[in-house]
Amino acid sequence: SADQIFAATEEAGLEIDILINNAGFGGHGKFHQRKLARDLAMMQVNMTSLVALTHLYLKGMVQRNSGKILHVASTAAFLPGPLQAVYYATKSFVLSFSQAIAQELEGTGVTSTALCPGAVATGFVAAGDLYGVKVFDNAASAESVAECGYEAMLKGDLVKINEKGLHFMLNWVVPFLPRKTVLKISQQSMEKC
């Protein structure tokens, strides 16, 4: 748990000046057909644990006037996600939370950055039963995404999308499309081949 992690670093006398909240998992299927316990566990990992860790470590960072936090959200944060409804919603929460505390931290020497990668080649596909989902066909390497996020965090960027094409689409095209069109496109990208 977040409390155990915090207690372990405190007992070891570690002063945490960089916090990377990267834990998370997803799932696939129509919401009403998924196991509720699995979706509630997803919410616990993707949101509650992230908030708890941030809260526990942030106080020390603010007191020292120094620190950097990287929250790994997703491009899913910008869209509704049919067939991954709870996952997309948790990532929207992470993006909103990260931006809100970034504003609250202005002038403290502490920054909060939201990394919003597209599909990444990790164990995420296996953990979420996402084999055959179209969007993962051209997944970025974990190394390239980690490097992108780390650089953005060091610069104190507010939000970083790892792919320029996705940045343009999510910020300049999607907001102007009819919501029903966005929902259809989003669902099609999540359908299994």
Dihedrals phi, psi of 8, to nearest 5 degrees: -65, -40
SS3 call for 78 = helix
Residue 68 pairs with which residues in a beta bridge? 18, 111
57 assigned to active site? no
SS3 call for 105 = coil
Q: How far apart are CA 123 and CA 132, in angstroms?
A: 14
Choice among 87, 88, 131, 150 that is catalytic:
87
Q: How far apart are CA 40 and CA 48, in angstroms?
A: 10
Task: Yes or no: say if 131 and 125 are a contact pair by the CB < 8 Å rule.
Answer: yes
Mind telling me the catalytic residues? Answer: 87
